[in-house]
Structures are given as C-alpha cells and as structure tokens.
A and B are shown apart, each in its own frame.
Chain A
C-alpha cells in the first residue's frame, strides 16, 4: 500500500511539475495557440466564405417542371442529385445548414390538383431548431412563390454523419486527431528539455525510477491532450451525438499519441532531430486520415488497409460518435487498432528506457 502511495506521489509530482512548467514553455504554448487557431478557423471558415445564399439539394423522383424554376432562381443555390443517398451525403457533408428535398413522383399533378403533398425535407443533425425552422420557412416561401401554391416541408428527417463522409463532422474528427497528435509531441518536448538541461540526471538520482519518470511525462501529456481535445469538441459540440463514445475514443487516441511522444522523446537527443523527424512522423500520421475521404480514387488495397492505421481508426470512431449508428463490432475493431498501436509503441518506449537506464 505504502509502495503504491509512494509510486503515485512520485508520478504525480513529475506530472504536476511538467504541466506547470509546460504552461511557461513557449514551444508548448505555441502548439496550443496553433491548435486553437486551427479549431477556430475551420469552425468559422463557412462564415468567412461570404456567400450566404441558402442551398437547396433536390432529388426529383418524377421530373417536375418546378426544378427548372428552381434552377433559375437567384434567391438560393440549387443542386439536383440522382438519389436520396446523394442528397443525404450533400446535406450531411456541408459546413452550413442546407435543405435536402425530395420531389415525389406525381408532384406536378398534385400541384395542378391543388393538393400538393407535404415534401420530405432533410437537414443535418447538428442544425439547431431555429436554423432548421429558418431554412424551412425560407424554402416554403420560395416554393410557394415558384409554384403559386402553399407547399409544406416536413423537417423531421435528420441526416446524421456517416463514416467516410467529408464536411463539418469529418473536419471536427480531423481537428480532434490533429490536436491529439500535436499535443502528443508535447511529451517529446518535455523529455527533450530534461535531457538538454540535464535535469534528467537529477531525476535519475531521485527516488523516481525510469518507469516513474516516463509515467509522469505520460500523465502530463494526457492532461495536455485531453484538455486540448476537449476544447476542440466543446467548440464543435453541435456535431456530437454520442459523448461517451467520443470520450472513449479521445482517451484511447491520447494514449496512442502520448506513447508516440514518449517514444520520440526517448529516441531523440536534439531539437533538430525532433523538428525533422517530428514533421515526418506527423505527416505520416495525418496523411492517411485525409486520404480515406478520397476513397473513390484510391486503389482498393490501399483504401482497405488504411483502416488499420491508428489515426484513421481513431478518426473513424470519432466520426461514429457524430453519427446515429455506431456498430459495436466496428467500434471495438477501431479502438483495438488504436490501443494495439499504443501498446506496441509503449513496448518500444519500455525497451528504450531499459536500454538507456544505465
């Protein structure tokens, strides 16, 4: 019992020192500021686009003449797609609130009869009630103007993000992964600083063992990772459907990136090495996450195998937490991929630490 208390005291002392000292570290602060800038940029990028015309995405089942009127409207942007799935994709991937609409077969006849049906409208799940009501009212008005009759839109169809889609939810997941990777490198900075200032020597003659030093750094790294990623998700809370799953994914992701930070910290001796190899490593980790949304143009063998990349798996679970469906099998497989990655890297850290431990 006393042993465990002492163990925890030492690990916590190192972690608390690193967290406190890290806040005063320009490199770490720079990482945090860059991350906040990144989050704010993609969160508010749609606002900066300047084009605020509402978007209408239509699947016309019966070749309605109204489509031509819609195409010619200068009050909104119109897109006609060939299936409901495509409409959902177009609505779900958007960074701004769009309305998906299905014009049923026989719609023109119903209009001619003076009994237009209630149209099925589709809106992204993250749109607020007021945003949905606003776009509903706008397009009911436009349709009434174009058709000369009152047309009602049913707004109960909500489009949830699906893994593999791009757009707002994907960017949020990407932001989460980027944040975790960036914050994971904080651990490398912490370890490099100890080596360069030779304070590691003082730690090594203190009651702290090599394992406790590594654990202390890992806890500090986890604090940074979890704090920063929490900021990302709080900024983008509207997309989150399953907070529990997101928290689980974030913790597993943080373990992975912190393990990676520890490995780099144990391998690198200079800041130059860290800068050069860190850049390569971050690129290798993040590139596949971008590549998966280009699945259509990737060879099948690449697209399938990318799923086993820990950052891709992490991004997939995060995206599942933005969706209404998170199949248990897929969640477990993806989380296991991330955790296996973390364990393999931690084994490398333990091996390296034991090697350098005298």
Chain B
C-alpha cells in the first residue's frame, strides 16, 4: 500500500521550473532515497510533499491526505528533519521538545522517552546552542518523531556529522522503517543511500531520470559488478556538472 503518491508534480519559480512533472509512489515502511545534485529540486519536492509549498500543477497525497487541500490533516501524519538545524537555540533540548509536544498535543512523558531514545536525556537541560552538530541533529530527529508520524522526511540528515554519529542516525532510520514508518530521504552520500534505501529516485533539473532499487539501477546503468550507486548518479547527472564546469 502506497503512503506517498505523486502525480505530475510541478513547481515553477518565476521562469525557473524547479520540479518538472515528477511522478512516483512510496510504499508504507519503505525507505525511499531521493537523490540529485544541488538545485535538482529535492528540497522543493519535500516542501511540496510536506505542505509548505503549493505545487504549480500536479497532485500528491501523503499518508492519505492531499498536500494542498488537506494540509492541516496531513501535518500530524508527517515529521520533517530539515536541511538546516532549525532548533530554538536559547531553549534546552527538553524545552524544545516540550514546545513541540504542546503543538502536537503529545503527552510530556513522550518527551522523556524521545530524549532517552536519541541519547540526550543526560544533557536535556542544557541550552541547545551549546550542543555539537551531532547532538542538534539528534534533537531534530527526536522532534520529528515526537508525535509518532506515519511518514518522516529527512533532508540530508547526516550532512557534516562525524562517522560515529552518522552511523547511529542510519541505524535509527533502519529501525524506523522496521517499525513501519515510511522514510523519505535525501542525501548526497551515495553509500548511505545505497545502504538504507529500498528504492531510489535520481532527479536532475527537476525531472526523475531514474527510479528503482539501488541494485537494479547499478545493473541498468553500470559497467560491471564493481559499479556503485555513485557511478550511476554521476553517469546520470554528472554530464550537466561537467558542462557547467567547462563553461566556467
């Protein structure tokens, strides 16, 4: 059963078409990797799927809700870990989560549960501005999962983190999928996408240029057994980069 269903989704910014008639479905409990170079339309797509941005045309349903007409119903069904570490830095981790708990109408006990789950219980009273990047990222994940959403959008969740923290977060994502949470993941780390994703979509200039399991993509677009997802990615999207580099 699909949790995300996207049909011909398009978004224009003035003369620029950021997302160009993309269509795909994501099954419940699936980890769906959404990969692409910078400016390919990943974040714009996430913004449309989370109801932050109105599509220019096309339609999308997430957790059974239309992202345009049923935005308010959609909100409790989704959790979002943003590209930026957008937490209230003057507040402690606990206060950040308590605020989210009040917004979502979640019991306070859930806050303590999430603090323990992401390993921040011991430093929950500290102001978030004193946290390391890894701790902030864990706090963001705790906030996104506080209300037990059916779908979680992770926009480059391991960017800039040390390998230990990144590994912990990847393990967490796998755990979520096992629990039946649908994960929509964007990342620039191809190994991460390969390891975590059941399927990946590669987008370039707003269009999906490939969509399949990592294994099948490697077979379809690779040159041999040693082909990596990064090779596929570069093959499908790197031409543009090479052109741009050459132009400059």
Stretch at the interface among A19-27, A69-77, A111-119, A324-332: A19-27
B88 touches A9 (CB 8 A): no
The answer to whether the Cβ of A32 comes within 8 Å of any Cβ in the partner chain is: no
CB distance from B188 to the nearest CB of A (A): 19
CB distance from B46 to the nearest CB of A (A): 10
CB distance from A3 to the nearest CB of B (A): 10
Task: Report the nearest B residue to A200, measured CB to CB.
Answer: B86
**With A198-B84, A202-B143, A207-B72 in contact, do A21 and B90 touch (Cβ < 8 Å)?**
yes
A202 touches B80 (CB 8 A): yes
CB distance from A214 to the nearest CB of B (A): 15
With A and B bound together, what is the CA distance between A198 and B105 in angstroms?
22
Question: From residue 1 to 25 of chain A, which have CB atoms closer than 8 A to chain B?
Answer: 6, 9-10, 12-14, 16-17, 20-21, 24-25
B50 touches A205 (CB 8 A): yes
**With A21-B91, A207-B75 in contact, do A201 and B86 touch (Cβ < 8 Å)?**
yes
Contact with A along B46-70 (1 / 0, CB 8 A): 0000111110000000000000000
B52 touches A205 (CB 8 A): yes
The answer to whether the Cβ of A40 comes within 8 Å of any Cβ in the partner chain is: no
Q: Determine the chain B residues whose CB is within 8 A of the CB of A198 once the complex forms.
A: 82, 84, 86
Task: Report the nearest A residue to B83, measured CB to CB.
Answer: A198
**With A13-B102, A13-B103, A202-B143 in contact, do A25 and B52 touch (Cβ < 8 Å)?**
no
With A and B bound together, what is the CA distance between A4 and B89 in angstroms?
30
Q: Determine the chain B residues whose CB is within 8 A of the CB of A14 once the complex forms.
A: 103
Partner of A10, one of B51, B80, B84, B103: B103
CB distance from B151 to the nearest CB of A (A): 11
Task: Report the nearest B residue to A24, measured CB to CB.
Answer: B90
Partner of B52, one of A6, A24, A204: A204
B88 touches A205 (CB 8 A): no
Question: From residue 182 to 199 of chain A, which have CB atoms closer than 8 A to chain B?
Answer: 197-199
B86 touches A205 (CB 8 A): no
The answer to whether the Cβ of B99 comes within 8 Å of any Cβ in the partner chain is: yes
With A and B bound together, what is the CA distance between A103 and B82 in angstroms?
80
The answer to whether the Cβ of B161 comes within 8 Å of any Cβ in the partner chain is: no
B88 touches A199 (CB 8 A): yes
The answer to whether the Cβ of B135 comes within 8 Å of any Cβ in the partner chain is: no
With A and B bound together, what is the CA distance between A203 and B96 in angstroms?
12
CB distance from B118 to the nearest CB of A (A): 16
A17 touches B104 (CB 8 A): no
Contact with B along A21-40 (1 / 0, CB 8 A): 10011000000000000000
Number of A-B residue pairs having CB atoms within 8 Å of each other in the complex: 68
The answer to whether the Cβ of A208 comes within 8 Å of any Cβ in the partner chain is: yes
CB distance from A341 to the nearest CB of B (A): 32
Count residues of chain A with CB under 8 A from any CB of chain B: 25
Q: Determine the chain B residues whose CB is within 8 A of the CB of A208 once the complex forms.
A: 103
With A and B bound together, what is the CA distance between A204 and B50 in angstroms?
9
Q: Determine the chain B residues whose CB is within 8 A of the CB of A17 once the complex forms.
A: 88, 91, 95, 99, 102
A21 touches B102 (CB 8 A): no
CB distance from B184 to the nearest CB of A (A): 13
CB distance from A91 to the nearest CB of B (A): 50
Contact with A along B21-55 (1 / 0, CB 8 A): 00000000000000000000000000000111110
Q: Determine the chain B residues whose CB is within 8 A of the CB of A16 once the complex forms.
A: 102
A9 touches B102 (CB 8 A): yes
Task: Report the nearest B residue to A21, measured CB to CB.
Answer: B90
Contact with A along B221-243 (1 / 0, CB 8 A): 00000000000000000000000
The answer to whether the Cβ of A305 comes within 8 Å of any Cβ in the partner chain is: no
A209 touches B72 (CB 8 A): yes
B99 touches A358 (CB 8 A): no
Residues of A bordering B, CB below 8 Å: 6, 9-10, 12-14, 16-17, 20-21, 24-25, 197-199, 201-209, 358
Q: Which 3 A-B pairs have the closest CB atoms?
A: A13-B102, A198-B86, A358-B54
User: Given contacts A204-B52, A208-B103, could you give 19 more A-B pairs where the C-beta distance is less than 8 Å?
Assistant: A6-B105, A10-B102, A10-B103, A13-B102, A17-B99, A17-B102, A20-B91, A21-B88, A197-B88, A198-B82, A198-B84, A199-B86, A201-B84, A201-B86, A202-B143, A203-B103, A205-B51, A206-B104, A207-B75
Some 10 contacts from A to B, beta carbons below 8 A apart, are A9-B102, A9-B105, A13-B102, A14-B103, A21-B91, A24-B90, A201-B84, A205-B51, A205-B52, A358-B53
Residues of B bordering A, CB below 8 Å: 50-54, 72, 75-76, 78, 80, 82, 84, 86-91, 95, 99-100, 102-105, 143
